Amino acid sequence: MAETNHNVASAKPDLASISGIVLALAGILGGLILEKGSIRDVAQITAALIVLGGTLGATLLNTPLTVLSGAFRRLNSVFLDRTLPPGGLIEEIIGYAAKARKNGLVSLEQEAQSIEDPFLSKALNLAVDGTDLQEIRKMLELEIGLEEQTAEAEAKVFESAGGYSPTIGIIGAVLGLIQVMKNLANIDEVGRGIAVAFVATVYGVALANLFLLPAANKIKARVYQDVQRKELMLEGVIGIVEGLNPKLIRSKLEAYARSAPAAPGKAKQIKQDAAAGQPARAEG
């Protein structure tokens, strides 16, 4: 029997996210310095306060508090990678399939209780309890769909914030220009004030395009990976319930290992087309 720890994912730093932010900041600040500017030119606490406070306030007004708190909790998936290659999971499911084919589904009762992945444990327990095949598929696809909707709603929090941030930056710039207009008699003060005023615009655009929008897309990518992994588990358990040969189950599941994660909606459409005997629909 395969070990049951293939589904335990230890968090490791996501080097792509970390290096992406570092590279973006280094490129922007490096360009500023090469243009004989100074980091002090863009280090404005008031501009940061306007952009961060305004963006957070608009996001709070736009988003239910429960969704907002879930979005902040999901931020760790941007910088921490818990995904595992599907190979170990496939071997685990094949081990269950071989035992069930030899000794019957009831022989998996102990394994089903000890599996650490809650989704696979639930699927296998439903199978062991003799739940109808269609009911298993319906229940678990509903669970996948609801979790997908929750995750996408949380990702949209950062998309919304990324839309507000540049506009709040413009508001900050206008507020700065209002202060400049009070000192038109002093031309030196006017020049310095205009430069400071536009820092808020830089902050707003940078916050949106260097963090908020990329974070939303990274969260969606994690969701798609998780959905694909759960679909692999579901198809494996369905194959076990159907009594398929473990080699046939392996062949079906290895398709998940060879394919790149697709958006859940697209993946569902591909499955429906395949069930109907239709070719996959082209993008566009």
pLDDT in tens, the chain (284 residues): 444 444 555 678 888 899 999 999 999 989 988 988 888 878 888 889 999 999 999 999 999 999 999 999 998 889 888 877 788 889 999 999 999 988 888 888 888 888 888 999 999 999 999 889 999 999 999 999 999 999 999 999 999 999 999 999 999 999 888 878 877 767 766 766 777 788 999 999 999 999 999 999 999 999 998 999 999 999 999 999 998 899 999 988 888 777 655 555 555 554 554 444 444 444 43
Q: No. of H helices and E strands in the chain? A: 13, 2
Indicate whether 282 belongs to any domain: no
Indicate whether 21 belongs to any domain: no
Give the single-character DSSP code of 184.
Answer: T
Give the residue numbers spanning the domain of 99. Answer: 47-265
Indicate whether 66 belongs to any domain: yes
Indicate whether 42 belongs to any domain: no
Indicate whether 277 belongs to any domain: no
Indicate whether 23 belongs to any domain: no
Could you report the per-residue pLDDT of 162-171, keeping only the tens digit for each?
A: 999 999 999 9
Indicate whether 28 belongs to any domain: no
Backbone angles phi, psi at 279, to 5 degrees: -70, 155
Give residue 52's identity as a one-letter amino acid code. L
Indicate whether 154 belongs to any domain: yes
Relative to beta strand 12-13, strand 80-81 is antiparallel
Number of structural domains in the chain = 1
